[in-house]
Amino acid sequence: MSKVHNFSAGPSILNQGVLKKAAQAVENFNNSGLSILEISHRSKDFIAVMDNAVALVKELLEVPEGYSVLFLQGGASTGFLKTILNFMKQDGTGAYLNTGTWSKKALKEAEKLGKLNMVASSEDKNFNYIPKVYPISTNDNYLHITTNNTIFGTQIKNIPVSRIPLIADMSSDIFSRKINISDYAMIYAGAQKNLGPAGTTLYIVKDSLLGKTGRTIPTMLDLRVHADKGSMFNTPPVYPIYVSMLTLEWLKANGGVEWIEKVNQEKADLIYNEIDSNSIFEGTAAIEDRSNMNVTFVLTNPDAQADFDKMWKEAGINGINGHRDVGGYRASIYNAMPKESIQVLVDIMKELAKKYDLANS
């Protein structure tokens, strides 16, 4: 079978070595004669997995003392709710920066369950840029941001300086670049882009800020409960956590976040340079806000679409159709995406341009 170049937006490409170990553990975990799918989460083998996964997050992101690292269920969509219940005071307000579909879902939940202050929005230009100047009121209980906008291909390059607790949904760019954890009250991220398969959500939360809202928080949504029990209050999603641990081991073995940030920049440059120098393609996001994870672009010549689609499909490229809400194309180039796959796409883009430039000359 020819190689598949997996540009899916999420769930998305995982490292091949990780997948090999992940398959092995389903057959026979740690040479125990049992599958990882059928062992107790209280077994010493799984406790070692959880401990290792947490330790790797702390090491790779240089998490300081006073933060809990949790692997929970529910997706980032439940993170929207946990943000409100754990950080918005009973009669308080949450501030939100509106930069795309997911931040909008987060703020809609705040509007539904509490009070919302939208500090800025780029919806006026279909979210193709990141608003940069806006007031942050100390009357608000927190500022919520979405650091990378998977659908629109924008990324916050300069994290806002905030005097109120900063909460970030980093589902689509966590572990892709260096971050300063102490800038944040909480970070949460669905695993299924840079961390692992679907089914677990990472939380990094500053313990001293929890328990201050005056709200009665349902047990499973109270981050203190999960922090106290080390993500083992109830049965955790064993396998997604295990595969996340393998991915973090792979990242560490190759040089960690510093290494991948450099690689990600090279990968992004490779494709953005092609888009900018190729007459048939055009990027859709404001240049200074372009995401290094999700590259969105359109054809300037609609006649070329059938050819382009045929060419990338024949080359084994998968998952570059744009999100159904925006159309066009989206190449998701997460941590595990090799440069070689991007080169395959870039070569096709060059070939297509040659064909159409020639036709027009």
Catalytic site positions:
102, 169, 193
Residue with tokens 């949790």: 70
8 A C-beta contact, residue 218 and residue 225: no
By CB under 8 A, residue 76 contacts a second copy: yes
At closest approach, how far in Å is the CB of 178 from a second copy?
25
Report residue 90 as tokens.
């009973």
Tell me how far, at minimum, the Cβ of 300 lies from a second copy, in Å. 27
- Binding-site size for a second copy (CB under 8 A) equals 65
Please name which of 201, 139, 138 lies closest in space to residue 169, comparing C-alpha atoms.
Answer: 201
Residue type, 226: H
Q: How far apart are CA 142 and CA 165, in angstroms?
A: 5
Token couple for 332: 């998701």
Of 56-64, 116-124, 181-189, 192-200, which segment contacts a second copy by CB under 8 A? 192-200
Distance between CA atoms of residues 215 and 88, nearest Å: 9
In sequence order, what are the beta bridge partners of 67?
206
- Phi–psi pair at 113, nearest 5 degrees: -105, -10
Shortest distance in whole angstroms from residue 89 CB to a second copy: 17
Tokens standing for 149? 């906008």
Q: Is 211 in the site for a second copy (CB under 8 A)?
A: no
Write out the binding residues for a second copy, residues 2-21 only, by CB under 8 A: 2-4, 6, 8-14, 19-20
Q: Is residue 63 within the footprint of a second copy (CB under 8 A)?
A: no
d(CA 225, CA 172): 26
96-155 residues in contact with a second copy (CB under 8 A) are 109, 112-113
Rounded least distance, CB 274 to a second copy, Å: 24
Asked if 196 interacts with a second copy (CB under 8 A), we say yes
- Please give the Cα distance from 158 to 178 (Å, whole number): 12
Cβ 353 to a second copy shortest distance, Å:
28
Task: Indicate whether 32 belongs to the interface with a second copy (CB under 8 A).
Answer: yes
The footprint of a second copy (CB under 8 A) covers 1-4, 6, 8-14, 19-20, 22-24, 26-27, 31-35, 37-41, 43, 73-78, 80-81, 109, 112-113, 190, 192, 196-200, 216, 218-221, 233-240, 243, 316, 318-319
